[in-house]
Structure formats: structure tokens, C-alpha cells
Structure 1
Amino acid sequence: MTQKKVLVAYGSKHGATEGIAAEIGRSLREDGLDAVVLPADDVDDVRGYDAVVLGGALYAGHWSGKAKRCAERNEHYLRHRPVWLFSSGPVDSSAEQHEIPPVAAVARQLERLGAREHRTFGGSITSGTPGLVARVMVRAGKGGDFRNHERIQNWAHHISADLTAPH
């Protein structure tokens, strides 16, 4: 059996979503899959992949334009392979406490692409995050890194199990 090739693409503004994508890629590789992690802007053709995991950062309730454009650019081919979507964003522990439903734009992509599932992971805004909003949030004590690495890895292993199970 040939090794399945999985694309993990992400739309990230300041690196937190990129970090989640890298973690997913590492976990998929641990499970024996050939995982490639790329910025969504760099993905013009998904035909060389057996499956795709596409993630985007959430800002003010909107999914990353980079991730959205990647989905739209590749819609025809994404509909014909297994796809999972993720979002990163809440800068609090809400993603740990309950499953957060996808925002409207992501829900539309889920349906349009026939994606298998969606997960929302906590985001990260720290003193190293650029921008005025980030500085104000950190100064106000509302920053932090809310990415749960174990939860990200578990979801990636769940994807691996789905891809390697006999169908």
C-alpha cells in the first residue's frame, strides 16, 4: 500500500494558526502519512494529495481570507477527496470547555466541499504578536496562548485513523 499524501494548508496572520498546522502535520507524519504543510496562499492545485486539512485564523468572527480563497480556488478537486477544516481564534479557554460551531463562512465551506468535520482550537495573542489590537489585549491582561497541543494532536491522530481505516 502506498503512503497517503496529506496537505495541511493554513491561513495565518501572526503565526498561531501556522503553529497548529505544523502540529497537525507532525502528528500525521508520526502516524505514517506523508504530510506537507503549506501556507494557503501557496496552494494552487490539490490534485497531488489524497486528503486535505485546511485551517484558518478567526478574526472578529471571520475566517481567514487566505484559507477561504484557497478553498474556493480548489473547490472542484477538494469535493473529490477527504477534507477536514479547522479554525483557530478564541483567545480564552472556551475551545477547551465545549465544541465551538464553525462561523458562517466556515459552515458554508464545510457544506460546499463536503468536508468530514471542523474543529475550533484556541488562538494565541502574546507580547510577540504584532499589531495595536494585540498590544492592547496583552496590556489589558487578555492575551495568552490558548492552543491545546494535546487536543490538536488527538484530532490529527483521529484524521490519520480515518484515512488509514479500511473503507
Structure 2
Amino acid sequence: MRILITYGSKLGGTREIAGLMARVLRDEGFDAEAAPPEAVDDVRVYDAVIVGGGLYANHWHHRARRFVHHHLHELRGRPVWFFSSGPLDDSASQERIPPTAQVRALMEQVGARGHETFGGRLESDARGFIAHAMAREHAGDWRDPGRITRWVRGVALELREAGRPWAGSAALHQEAPR
């Protein structure tokens, strides 16, 4: 089974989460790859898709949004999960953070099976006016590799249990286990 993990990432933290997810899925026996949206020409070659985006002022990264809109029809025909990264504190590890309204609307458009929000990362030497200003008080790495691994293993379990064909499968649940 071939799985795509694609992401919109400004400073690399979300890209690194996608890379971890691909490694975990490969360890679980899947053919998984992490790729930026602009490197994906045809979603139909994948059996499942995970789309992630960094959150900036409660907005998902524009490349993640653009990917979903561009591949809307194809995404509807396969299992899809979303993830967000961005809280610059430990809140994502303390409690479940629901998707933003923007992400929730995209989930509804493609029939996404679930969503998870993970902590973000901001380097102390971040470039750009806003990022640099935020880094003064919020620099750090709040990504939790164990939590990310558990979530993506839950996705892998759902895929194994559901079997094929994907479209309309009642065996797939809305939320993957945490």
C-alpha cells in the first residue's frame, strides 16, 4: 500500500513531522513517502494521503490548502487524514486541539478520516520580521515524537483493518487513536 504524506511548511518543522510519519509508516510495512505539495503531480498513484500544514495565525499553510483544492476530486476517493503543527507551547501535548475552522472545512470537502494538532517548532534565530519577533519569547521545539508516532500508528491500524476498496468504507473511523 502506497501512502503520501505531504505538507505545507514555512520553517521546516512540519516537513520534519511528515518525514517522521513516513519513517513510522515504512516501519509498519507501508510504502510511504513525504513530499512537498509542488512535487506531487498525481494523487491517484497513492492508496492513502496524509496532508499536514503549519499553522500561522490560525491559518493552515497556503501550500497545504492549495494541494487540497487542486486534488479535491482524487482525495475524495481515498482515505485522507490531516494534521496541523504550530502551537508554540506544550498545549498540543496536554489536550486535544481541534482543527481550525479553515481546516475543518477542507476536511469536510474531502471526507477526511481524522485530524490531529501537534506542537510546533520555532528556532531562536528564525528569519522574517514576525517569526523573529515571536522567537524572542516563544523559541523552542514542542513537537512530541512519541505522540506523532502513536497517531500515525493509529492511522496504519485503520488502513489495515479497513482493507480495500477505500471509497465509502464504513470501517474507517473519523479519528485515529492518539
Range class of TM-score, shorter chain: over 0.9
Is the 1:44–1:73 Cα contact (8 Å) retained in structure 2? no
Matched, 1:87 2:87: no
Offset, 1:128: 4.1
Matched, 1:115 2:112: yes
**Aligned equivalents of 2:109 and 2:132: distance in 1?**
37
Q: Which amino acid aligns with 2:89?
A: D
Q: How many residues align?
A: 163
Match of residue 127 from structure 1: 124
Could you list the per-position Cα deviations for residues 51-102 of structure 1 after superposition, in whole angstroms to 9, with x for gaps in the alignment? 0000000000100110001001111010010000000010011101111111
| Identity in percent | 47
Q: Where does the alignment leave 5 or more consecutive residues of structure 1 unmatched?
A: none
Q: Which of structure 1's runs of 4+ aligned residues deviate more than 6 A? A: none
Match of residue 156 from structure 1: 152
**Aligned equivalents of 1:36 and 1:142: distance in 2?**
31
**Aligned equivalents of 1:142 and 1:51: distance in 2?**
35
**Aligned equivalents of 1:13 and 1:94: distance in 2?**
21
Could you list the per-position Cα deviations for residues 92-140 of structure 1 after superposition, in whole angstroms to 9, with x for gaps in the alignment? 111011111111110011100000000000000112432222322232x
Q: CA RMSD in A?
A: 1.1
Is the 1:8–1:24 Cα contact (8 Å) retained in structure 2? yes
**Aligned equivalents of 1:166 and 1:56: distance in 2?**
26
**Which of residues 6, 13, 22 is equivalent to 2:3?**
6
Offset, 1:166: 4.9
**Aligned equivalents of 2:12 and 2:144: distance in 1?**
15
Matched, 1:40 2:43: no
Match of residue 100 from structure 2: 103
**Aligned equivalents of 2:70 and 2:125: distance in 1?**
32
Is the 2:126–2:135 Cα contact (8 Å) retained in structure 1? no
| TM-score (norm: length of structure 1) | 0.93
| TM-score (norm: length of structure 2) | 0.88
Is the 1:10–1:18 Cα contact (8 Å) retained in structure 2? yes
1:16-27 matched pairs, under 5 angstroms: 16-27=13-24
